[in-house]
A and B are shown apart, each in its own frame.
Chain A
Amino acid sequence: MDNIKPQDMGKTSDVLVRPEKLMPLPAPYDKPGMEPEFKPVKDTWKEDFCTSLDGFVGNDTLARPKTKEEEQEMIKKFLSGLDKLFSDQTNRGYLQPLALSFEYCAKCNTCSEACHTFKSSGETEIYRPIFRSEVLRKIYRKHKNGDSLVNRFIGGDIDLNIETILRLGELAYRCNLCRRCAQTCPLGLDNGLLAREIRKIFSMEMGIAPKPLHEKGTVNQLKIGSSTGLNKAALLDVIEFIEEDMYDKTGKEYKIPMDKKGADILLTHNAGEFLAWPENPAAFAIIFEEAGLNWTLSSEMIGYDNVNYGLFYDDAQAKKIGIQQFKAARDLGVRKIVIGECGHAHKAATVSMDRNVAGEDNIPRESFLPLLQDLIRKKAIKQDPSRNNFPVTLHDPCNMARMMGLIMPQREIINTICPQFREMTPNGAQNYCCGGGSGFAIMNSFNFPEFRNKIASRMKFKQILNAFQDTIEDPETPKYVCAPCSNCKGAIRDILDYYETTAKFNVHYGGLVELVVNAMPQFERPFLDFLDEEAGMM
């Protein structure tokens, strides 16, 4: 169906649109057969979930109602949630930016040109940042003003039926909340914020949120201590293993300080690092120990997992987790929290939580980036750039670069230690999302990974290929995408795997601290496994 309008959201059809002509990729992915095709949508999914938007199931708790009564109940709930968004009693923190973004859109579509998902999908209409917002506006007008002829002329022209609601529940999860659209909007409106407000209606009023974010995410974190399911005993086992591993790699015995009362710094990691990328906490430990910092990790409840998925979909969950994280730091009596390589943890802990915690509980916290920059500048750790003599490019996590303006420290570091560094285009505050933002990196049910790998991450993949065009087809030259964020690493790992870019073209990925440790001349073995013959295929 061409020229889809927001009004079409309520029309009964098998699928509103399937993205077809995706944005072409650069060489060597411009040749036929280089990219896996979309797999067909299963019939059972159509009955039980909402595949009628674009054929993808992202929201795995958005169950299709089985009876008319259930349908009416769901619509009613949605509308009561919508009312709560616009009430000062229930949405004080977000009402002002919501109202501003809701009212003044001039439909100039500057935002669409900035949106990686819209562009990557071959300009599929429903992925325009304003399409989703416009659906919400129409629903609101219809809900408030009724079905009069006049109202239909002033924007209330949409069917307030179950298809509209279900499709909107999926469409809220086709936006990475990267807010590149907000950055470019001439009026300063924030369509990313509106997408998140829609997610809030579904989660906070209707109890509908993707399981990886809610049930297995924030609920796990509040219950066990981490969304990964990592409890205290398992964490301590991991730490012991990391210490052994550091010894194997460096020949030096490092001890990771745990729960050290009164340390200057509580370093917090995304707990995913402990399980999937243990070399990252290891690299932090080596740097901090070599620099002689007075630091610690926490093994207490939530003190060892700095993620806060509440940021993606639910204000109440976000607040509960944020408060616990600050409490862990307060209990240890540290002077400040330093946040490791996790983008959304940066924003959650430094910016978002700032308004939620007052007085002494509002403990100072900062990014690891200025600290690391300082250590490199002052030569607190030895660095030999020739150990990093291979092509390196840098991905800017949206939450650090666009949301917080953290741009120069990582560049200064990487320019100092990587002789073959090259930027992606565009970069810094103008960067593109990795495609994993706002939870997409961990939403792996049904066919959602196809949406992520082929559409949401496509612009990032294009940028990576372009950054390495000089050596991409030379499999002898290892190439490294530096992504100082667990979520971004997850998304980039998946594209490099999906497109077989590591296997075919020797492109690797990892964080920033790993490059720093790899450049330390006192160690015989390289720190990066792909350079280390002894590490084999570990």
Chain B
Amino acid sequence: MANIEINGQQVEIDEDGFIVNPEQWDENVAAYFCKDEGIEELTDEHWKVINYLRDYYQQFEVAPMIRKLCKETGCNLKKIYELFPSGPAKGACKVAGLPKPTGCV
């Protein structure tokens, strides 16, 4: 666990760089996580994925299955990897401020 400062806000992240309290997430946090992901700028396509993940998480308190993410956003897995090089879980979910997935997933 470590605290990092993003725009004056202390944000707690775990060993793998995931946010611990999803309510601390905002656009500045997303921008911070992007740097680690090697994303230069968040495009509309990035935001489509991020917003879908956040909406789903707010409704169900769990990340959606990857298949559903692809279908609902119209981005296939290859596209998700292009947008978020570490993939849907370690990349997209992390930038979207979802906690690290748990269980046998």
* A positions within 8 Å CB-CB of B: 60, 212, 216-217, 220, 226-231, 233-234, 237-238, 241, 245, 270-276, 278, 305, 307, 342, 441-442, 444-446, 486-487, 490, 536-538
Contact = CB atoms under 8 A, between A and B. Distances in A.
Contacts of B76: 536-538
B38 interface: no
Given A238-B65, A276-B66, A538-B67, A228 B103 contact: yes
28 contacts: A216-B102, A216-B103, A220-B103, A227-B102, A227-B104, A228-B62, A228-B104, A229-B62, A229-B101, A229-B102, A231-B60, A231-B62, A233-B59, A234-B60, A234-B61, A234-B62, A241-B68, A271-B103, A275-B63, A275-B101, A275-B103, A276-B104, A307-B104, A442-B102, A442-B104, A486-B104, A536-B76, A538-B67
B73 to A, nearest CB: 12
B11 interface: no
Contacts of A217: 102-103
A230 B71 CA distance: 20
B6 to A, nearest CB: 20
Interface residues of B, number: 24
Interface string B65-98: 1111011000011110000000000000000000
Nearest to A224: B61
B102 A275 contact: no
Interface in B43-71: 59-63, 65-68, 70-71
A217 B65 CA distance: 18
A230 B56 CA distance: 12
Return the 7 tightest CB-CB contacts between A and B, nearest first. A272-B104, A228-B103, A227-B103, A537-B78, A234-B60, A216-B102, A276-B105
Contacts of A446: 15
Contacts of B14: 445
Contacts of B66: 276
Contact of B62 (A230, A270, A305, A445): A230
A487 B90 CA distance: 19
Contacts of B67: 241, 245, 278, 538
Nearest to B65: A275
B21 to A, nearest CB: 15
A225 B71 CA distance: 26
A233 B59 CA distance: 9
Contacts of A230: 62, 103
Nearest to A535: B76
A487 B104 contact: yes
B23 interface: no
